[in-house]
Amino acid sequence: MPMNRVYIKTYGCQMNERDSNAVAAMLRGKGYSVIDNEQDADVILLNTCSVRDQAEQKAIGKAGHLMKRKHKNPNFIVGVMGCMAQNRGEALLDSLPDLDLVIGTQKFHRVPDHLSNMIDTMQGQGPRPESIVDLAEELDSQNTIKAHLNDKPQITAFVSIMQGCNMKCAYCIVPKTRGVERARPMEAIVEEIEELATKGTREITLLGQIVNQYGIREFPFVDKKSPFVQLLEKVHAIEGIERIRFTSPHPIGFKDDLIKCYASMPKLCEYLHFPMQSGSDRILKAMRRPYSIEKFRSIIDKIRMVRPDMYISTDIIVGFPGETDEDFELTRKHFEEIGFDMAYLFKYSVRPDTTAEPLGDPVTKAQKEHRNQVLLEILAKNSLKRNESLVDKIENVLFEGPAKKGEDMFVGRTRGNRVVIVKANQRLVGQLVPVRFSRVTANTLYGDLVLEGVESEMEAITL
């Protein structure tokens, strides 16, 4: 009986999305079919996140649910990979003894082999095969990534340029789940992006935990330019790539050489995700984030001098242990004054083996909820104001595909990373097309294609 239909469910950040894509590409290369429909799958892989307890609980709940399906059909395979697999390891089998695969963050490239071994053993008539647990560190695992080049055309693609993190932010589990920081060689990254570009990729997001620290130990500065800026220059020169983004940068190492890129690189989008975490210096210190709020804001000011129309988003944690009303008031004040266009607002969650773990979780749930709401309201107002300023304006939109709802509706993004929904045509997917915005919400822009003066190919389109 063939058992080749795999469904991958991804939790967590863009790095996980990229890793899932890579695993999918490898599996397709081995003859598996990676499907979008969970019900028809012979194999389900959960690519998990550990950053907050809730993220882990979601995946554990899902895995528990899938065990019922496995009891009805013993040949059904369930695997857990990624950060939670790395974090919890073998202990996952205590509560989920029938889990077939537990694969850590440095072992994604081993998934096809482990899966085929599991299937082979299952198809022999013996007893249920033992669960496979593979969590070991792997030297050079950052370079196994290049073999993961996606086989399906992607309009916009994530490219991991490094793995791991050497910082010690007090709240954060990522250094534990992703290991020490390792950079990929520049040439390998450039090669990967060149290949993506020839297959139709127009937009690249470079990924790293502190992306602007890329290669800081491995590669030298050249003409006072950091390795990250050198890489940006190389990526900028690649024909076919129209837009460049990166995430997440950190204030350390966000120097003038990088700020200057916003003046010299037209492909570098006027969108920056720049995690602030807190507006209180006292809390930043307790979080072991090595910058002051003044330093953080001075970087934003400098960038806005170069690109006044910059869109800036951030990450904030509310309710870190010891965060008083006064501390939160500082976060609120700076959050409002900076005027973020987008933000991910998190309620503090205690993580095992972090330096903040012994501090417990003294800020109450209600306080966290309140602080979260205060920031959400500011954000909604800001975001709407920014979007309203775009009504009647025309901007290029990179179309990514059909919208979830609505006949002939397509979704794309502006350079500022605003989501746009427009009546369009499949032929525009992968293209940069001018759109005039007519109606906006805090999260979405709606409008019409501007067809005058557009290349002839597009004029031919009848809507």
175 binds, options ligand F3S, ligand SAH, ligand SF4, none, Cβ within 5 to 8 A by partner type = ligand SF4
Q: In what order do the strands lie in the sheet with 342-347?
A: 271-273, 311-318, 342-347
Rounded-to-integer distance, Cα 336 and Cα 317, Å:
15
Task: Identify the residue among 45, 83, 189, 379 touching ligand F3S (CB under 6 A).
Answer: 83
Please identify, among the stretches 108-116, 172-180, 334-342, 377-385, the one whose residues bind ligand SF4 according to the rule CB under 6 A: 172-180
- Where residue 42 falls (left for φ over 0; alpha for ψ -120 to 50; beta otherwise) is alpha
Contact between 23 and ligand SF4 (CB under 6 A)? Answer: no
Q: List all residues 6 or more positions away from 357 whose beta carbon is below 8 Å from its beta carbon.
A: 350, 351
Q: Find the shortest distance in angstroms from Cβ 175 to ligand SF4.
A: 5
Residue for token pair 């390998």 = 188
Task: Identify the residue among 8, 13, 102, 411 touching ligand F3S (CB under 6 A).
Answer: 13
Query: Measured from the CB atom, is 84 or 397 closer to ligand F3S?
Result: 84
Query: Measured from the CB atom, is 127 or 358 closer to ligand SF4?
Result: 358
Task: Identify the residue among 175, 179, 227, 412 touching ligand SF4 (CB under 6 A).
Answer: 175
In 68-145, the DSSP E strands lie at 77-82, 101-103, 132-134
**What is the radius of gyration, based on Cα positions, of the chain?**
23
Contact between 165 and ligand SF4 (CB under 6 A)? Answer: yes
Task: Identify the residue among 205, 278, 280, 349 touching ligand SAH (CB under 6 A).
Answer: 349
Rounded-to-integer distance, Cα 261 and Cα 107, Å:
35
Concatenating the DSSP letter of every residue in 375-422 gives HHHHHHHHHHHHHHTTTT-EEEEEEEEE-SSSTTEEEEE-TT--EEEE
Contact between 16 and ligand F3S (CB under 6 A)? Answer: yes
Q: Are 397 and 435 in contact (CB under 8 A)?
A: yes
Q: Could you say which residues in the range 222-281 bind ligand SF4, by CB under 6 A?
A: 250
52 binds, options ligand SF4, ligand SAH, ligand F3S, none, Cβ within 5 to 8 A by partner type = ligand SAH
Terminal CA-to-CA distance of the chain, rounded, Å?
46
Q: Are 47 and 15 in contact (CB under 8 A)?
A: no
Contact between 186 and ligand SAH (CB under 6 A)? Answer: no
Contact between 150 and ligand F3S (CB under 6 A)? Answer: no
Rounded-to-integer distance, Cα 68 and Cα 138, Å:
34
φ and ψ at residue 50, rounded to 5 degrees: -120, 5
Task: Identify the residue among 50, 160, 314, 354 touching ligand F3S (CB under 6 A).
Answer: 50
Q: Find the shortest distance in angstroms from Cβ 178 to ligand SF4.
A: 8
Rounded-to-integer distance, Cα 337 and Cα 315, Å:
15
41 binds, options ligand F3S, ligand SF4, ligand SAH, none, Cβ within 5 to 8 A by partner type = none
Task: Identify the residue among 3, 6, 8, 15 touching ligand F3S (CB under 6 A).
Answer: 15
Neighbours of 457 (CB within 10 A): 10
Task: Identify the residue among 275, 279, 430, 447 touching ligand SAH (CB under 6 A).
Answer: 275
Contact between 10 and ligand F3S (CB under 6 A)? Answer: no
**Residues near ligand F3S (CB under 6 A), total:** 12
Q: List all residues 6 or more positions away from 215 whose beta carbon is below 8 Å from its beta carbon.
A: 162, 183, 186, 227, 228, 231
CA 419, 420, 425, 426: dihedral to nearest 10 degrees?
0
Contact between 46 and ligand F3S (CB under 6 A)? Answer: no
Query: Measured from the CB atom, is 178 or 245 closer to ligand F3S?
Result: 178
Contact between 211 and ligand F3S (CB under 6 A)? Answer: no
Which long-range contacts link 425-430 to residues 24+ away (Cβ below 8 Å)? 425/461, 425/463, 426/402, 427/461, 428/399, 428/458, 428/461, 429/155, 429/399, 429/400, 429/401, 430/153, 430/155, 430/200, 430/202, 430/398, 430/399
Contact between 248 and ligand SAH (CB under 6 A)? Answer: yes
Query: Measured from the CB atom, is 83 or 96 closer to ligand F3S?
Result: 83
103 binds, options ligand SAH, ligand SF4, ligand F3S, none, Cβ within 5 to 8 A by partner type = none
Q: Find the shortest distance in angstroms from Cβ 250 to ligand SF4.
A: 6
Task: Identify the residue among 24, 96, 111, 210 touching ligand SF4 (CB under 6 A).
Answer: 210
Interface ranges with ligand SAH (CB under 6 A): 51-52, 171-172, 174, 209-210, 248, 250, 275, 277, 315, 317, 346, 348-349, 351
Interface ranges with ligand SF4 (CB under 6 A): 165, 167, 169, 172, 174-175, 209-210, 250
